[in-house]
Amino acid sequence: MSLRIGDTAPDFSADTTAGPINFHNWIGTQWAFFFSHPADFTPVCTTEMGRTAQLAEEFAARGVKPIGLSTDTVAEHVKWIKDVDDTQNTTLRFPIVADANLEIAKLYDMLHPNESETAAVRSVFIIDPNKKIRLTMTYPMSVGRNFDEILRVIDALQVGDKFKIATPADWVPGQNVIIPPSVADADAAKAFPQGFETIRPYLRTVKI
């Protein structure tokens, strides 16, 4: 199943390291960072799980709930978490979905046959409180994710929702944002009384 930005994230029920969940109910009114990894007890995945755990406060500050998935069992996840905690000097508290029958991996198109027919690639889904998919990223099995970028795009999405703006290349919080071309100058002046810079008629930036 091919999932696109703006689609409703497919709901599912599953066993996790935090007990059984219904995905949409688990998200509740928050955002979700839903990500898959190929397998427990593997090196790149261990560093990614550890980094997610280390960033718990950063995700919480943004109202984001991380949740992992692989095609291993809950029992395997639980054993592996001890290694993650020990080797990455952290405490992993977010749930990891067990998907040994591959149902959820197939539902979210996490199986790429040229990589593996039974293990998920490194998929990322950022899902908003309305259960809409707002961003997707896919990494090959051999490349660990950039968590600074994951946090950055969450910030960009949330700022965009709040102020109805767009963000330029390499934007980070605190930098100027872009007023969409669909917003007339008069409306922009009302929305941004602090003023904005017109570089071109289609390129206006503002500090928020």
Active site residues: 45
Amino acid at 64: V
Helix (H, G, I), strand (E, B) or coil at 65: strand
For 109, the token pair is: 């198109």
Q: From edge to edge, which strands make up the β-sheet containing 64-70?
A: 96-98, 64-70, 31-36, 122-127, 133-139
Q: Report DSSP letters for 47-114, one per residue.
A: HHHHHHHHTHHHHHHTTEEEEEEESS-HHHHHHHHHHHHHHHTS---S-EEE-TT-HHHHHTT---TT
